[in-house]
C-alpha cells in the first residue's frame, strides 16, 4: 500500500453514499417510532407518576422531541 492509498483510506468518510444514507434514514425512522411510543406511554400515565419523574404533562412533548433525545442518547434526562 502506498502512502497515497493509505491517506485515501484513512480520510474517506464512512457512511457516505447510498448504504450510509439508507442506514441513517432507517435509524431516524426507528427513533421516531420509539419517541412516538414513549410519548403515548407518558400521556397515558397518571399525573402523580409524572410528578414522581419530575415533569408536568405539558413537558412530555419537550422530553420526547428529536432535539432532546439526540443530545441524550440513553433517553434519561432526569
- DSSP string across 10-66: HHSPTT-SHHHHHHHHHHHHHHHHHHHHHHHHHHHS-HHHHHHHT--GGGHHHHTSH
pLDDT tens figures, 30-61: 988 998 998 999 999 999 999 999 999 999 88
| pLDDT band, residue 78 (cuts 50/70/90) | very low
Residue with cell 447510498: 18
- What pLDDT score does 7 carry? 52
Write down the pTM of the prediction: 0.54
pLDDT digit string, tens, across residues 8-22: 555 455 555 667 888
CA angle, corner 59, sides to 56 and 63, nearest 5?
A: 125
Amino acid at each position: 500500500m502506498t502512502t497515497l492509498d493509505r491517506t485515501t483510506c484513512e480520510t474517506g468518510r464512512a457512511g457516505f453514499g447510498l448504504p450510509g444514507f439508507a442506514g441513517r434514514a432507517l435509524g431516524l425512522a426507528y427513533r421516531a417510532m420509539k419517541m412516538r411510543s414513549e410519548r403515548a406511554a407518558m400521556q397515558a400515565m397518571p399525573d402523580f407518576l409524572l410528578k414522581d419523574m419530575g415533569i408536568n404533562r405539558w413537558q412530555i412533548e419537550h422530553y420526547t422531541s428529536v432535539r432532546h433525545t439526540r443530545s441524550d442518547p440513553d433517553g434519561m434526562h432526569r
